[in-house]
Structure 1
Amino acid sequence: FRQLQRRVSNLQYIRPFDESYEVIPHKITHGNQIINIGLKHTSSPHVVYMGNSTMVEPNWLNMALALIQQNENLGLVGFKLLKPTGVIEHAGIYFAEGAPHHMNRGVGESSHSLTLIDDVDGHKLVGWALVLIRRKAIPRKGLEEGYYHGFRGYDDLDNCRQMVKNGWDIAYCGFGVATHYALATRGEYNEKVAKEYEENRVRFIKRWGEVKKDASPPNCV
């Protein structure tokens, strides 16, 4: 996937399929700032944030869009993400021993039925590599910028907690599937990335408190 990105830009890749898009030049490459740029240039009541690290399967959006249209209090829908090997990487997020974990990570995708849930666990968390957002669930000023290192962990969980705090529900839709090439967005894991991840963790705890709940995640794939 990284080799494909080097040979062909995202625009070159999608242009043969659809030309109904607008290119917005900017220097920002990560975090809530880049999501806010997209939100400012769209008017749809529902917006998809899709990281450049995801490749979706056919009809991935249909069920999630129907779900959010039928539930007025639903602010965010997360999707099933697979590793390039085909096993599950993300099917919602839960906390155990004070740290976030992906539900059913490493489980074979084809061995589970697909279900919908509206409460991933007591914290209602999904990763933001690929999400469907209700515009009304985002504050007018946009998502918070500058508190976290973008795309280094915990910033997307904070977005979820803020939504729930503001009265919105969050759902996970196992009917929408994409393959996630994580390093395509974050880059190689190194000392700088590890340092920024730890700083994000500390900032999350400072804001929300230590999560001590040792959750038993439901089978939600």
Structure 2
Amino acid sequence: MPTALIIGASRGIGHEFVRKLKAANWKVFATARSDDALAALQACGAEALKLDVTKPESLAGLGWQLDGEKLDLAIYVAGVFGSRDGATVSSTQQDFDHVMHTNVLGAMQIIPLVAPMVEAAQGKFGFLSSGMGSIGEVESSYGWVYRASKAALNMAMKSATVDYPQATFVALDPGWVRTDMGGQSAPTTVEESVSGLLQVIAGLDKSDSGAYRSRTNRHLAW
């Protein structure tokens, strides 16, 4: 039975990863912050782990909770959007720190803990990025702190490929998805997004490590 870890699975895309992987008979570890979310993950059949990626003491406990596991798949979903402001408005330090801490620092602290477990299975490590993190395709400054955080996340992912050659890393753009973050006007359902992402992940091999792909398997410009 393959084993997966979904980091940030309380709702939306993360929760849908859990649901689909469990339906495909995977053993799934899934993290969330609240007791209600943990209970919902347990009800889905996942092994729920309490984790707040913004708290070092919480991250420190993840390693021993997963001690000895080999991960065929790990996905870092945890993320926040923050202010929708663009370059005509100065970012506040509070907003910048919150977004960067969750979207970038959290991932950079998770990688040394989780990547060895992915390497042990010669598995795949996905990071939920965004098309808004593409520098080459930028058309607006809307949400510029979020954009900067996803570009930074992409760099962290790409850099890690050098140190963990037995794992396959990928930055994933889920599209504009109908979630709490994406809003009800988004054209893509959570089910459509995650189905596409899982197909992309399934098709990856080690030669693809460090890729930046959309849910339709398009290669995004850095």
Normalising by structure 2, what TM-score?
A: 0.27
Pick the structure with more helix per residue.
2
Which structure shows the higher strand fraction?
1
Higher relative contact order (CA closer than 8 Å, sequence separation 6+): 1
